[in-house]
Structure 1
Amino acid sequence: MSHFTKLAGLGLAATLLLASCEKDEDRAIMQPGSSLAVTPSTNSAVLLQANASANAVTYNWNKVEFGYPAAVQYTLQFDKKGGDFSNPIEINAANSTTRVLTVSELNSILLKLKVAPNTAGAIDARVKASVGANAAPVISPVSTFTGTPYLVFIEYPSVYVPGSYQGWAPDKAPFLASVNNDKKYEGYLNFPDASTSFKITPARNWDNDYGVDPAGPAGTLKAKGGDITVTGPGYYRFNVDLNTLKYTATKTTWAVIGAATPGGWDKETPLVFDPVKQVWTATLALKADELKFRANNAWDIDLGDNEPDGIPDYGGKNIKVSAAGTYTITLDLSKGAGNYNYSIEK
């Protein structure tokens, strides 16, 4: 064998040995040096909007060692109870081994995971430790949390409806809301009197109010127009479009209908309006089945729930009742479009 051949063979062997060492090193850093566990300061809480900025729960976990110097990043993950964390809600904790959640933050997590407002619901939490693409993350076992969220009031652009029914006071008037911020407003108002006059104001003052246009078709508005009048007491659905200067006022009475209700899908069961709480309500024996809310004994205006999340949707999916029993049903349409809500509670 020539001297050159021997040198080439030695070089090849050295190259193979070096490659083998590099692969062994790669395999070594793929193996984390410790496990991970997460501990909450509490396992349950009833949340109140008045305490939104207060601390609700603190999650603590141990530091993870990956067997070599590494900048470990921790992520707190949440999913519905029994979920697979394929699409978790994530909160970045950077390199910290603790994370405090405020009442507001925890409430948002619960609502996003479809826990109904004012109802206790369970969610799962875990922590992920990672150092990048070269090493598999370390995942803690799941910790279960039971929380009762509150319904968040969302402030949308609004117009106000001062009138004879409330003393012509725009600063105290009920409002209609524009969910899409497109100058189209909706809301429900209760008029207890035989005849009610009112106006529409873009702010809580009389600077730029709208009233009826006597020269236009019915339902036409005009800046600084005359008083708008509705005849007959009742609970009215208002739609106001300031782009076209049009409005509608539709008197409504509400009921539930569906296989879960006493009348099935053939006969609706009326709800009763509570003028103090400004809600529609009834206590009924329900079956384990489905129902919807419906106005005026017709399908022109009906409410289901697409999520379901306790927030009704026009024409939405049937609302499921999980078990037979006696329930108090409440429908609240008093807070303007975008903040309607309902509850079905045993």
Structure 2
Amino acid sequence: MKKLFNIVICSLAFVLLYSCKTDNMNYSDAEVTAVTALYSPTENAAVKLVSASSASLFFEWEPAKTQDSGAALYELVFDKVGGDFSKPIYKITSNNNGYLSNATITHKTLNTIATISGVNPGESGDVIWTVVASRGLNQVVSKEVRKLNITSLEGFAEVPNELYITGEGSETGTDQAASLPFKQTSPGEFEIYTKLEAGKDYSFIDRKSGTPRFFYTDDQVKLKEGTEENGIRVTKTGVYKINLDFNVATISSSEITKVGLWFSPENKVLFDLPYAGKGVFKGTGVVTFRQESWGRDQRYKFQFEKIENNVTSVGQFGTKVASDNPPNASSDPSYYYIKVLANVTQWDDKWKFIDAVDRKSTTISIILQGDKEYTHTVQVN
């Protein structure tokens, strides 16, 4: 009986092994037809790229047919005009990991394709595209080819992954190793809160050691790549928020003239938080909660004033992680995280002080540094 059982098991194993091997062979050897029709974009379509992360272009084609009725896989391929796709300049898998006969390609990816094909930033040029269908080991390039005109972004072909500020006019001077980091807010987009000294040069670098790339502006609008000799200057010593977008090669800045503790129950700033250096604003004052019929109100956030393009305006910092409760000893650090609010309001996106703050001298620090989450601390003295 035991011998018979072993024979049955071995037979089953052999059948399963043979079946798996046969399936793999069938999959590998299945024929697939070429894609015979490209639907979208149309021939000679033109697209002007924008830097928004959500911007994209939709490609679609007729599905291929396979010998075993299984699903074909698709790859969208690009080449320079006159090329035959034997060595495409860019390849991308279609939607749903290659199983759908369409592809959604972001403008930033299209910008990379345009750059590889030789289109200069801000200029227009043509590329060609088609589709490769495959089933197992068999691949077939469609004979249908479309031309696409791309107006590229005015940004940089090679966007830094990190960025620092350096120079005599910066807080850390010419010591590149001590340069203050920017915060990367999106791919290719950076910002920093820092103090600049009037009449002295500063610039931006993509690394603190080795041989960095230098970036600057000569009109406070367009970002350029240069050398260590290309500096920027401000006419007024102050604290500035600087924004750089390498996707469109732009720079903008605003002077932060005041930051203060906004106490929601009083609908006003209780005391200022002067700039303490290296992205930190710090101030001390007494906070007295407002007595209400339901208890004592301890809601707060922060308000700032800025000057941009000679226009003064007011903004607010509030919660990045919404909560309607005061923190405690076990609260996650994210409770204190900060973001710039879209609107100035009395109550929205606020925090709550702990009870120990009421009527006590309290030191508050806002920490806006590029190598960590924007956050703040509350210390009862």
| TM-score (norm: length of structure 2) | 0.43
What TM-score do the two structures reach when normalised by structure 1?
Answer: 0.47
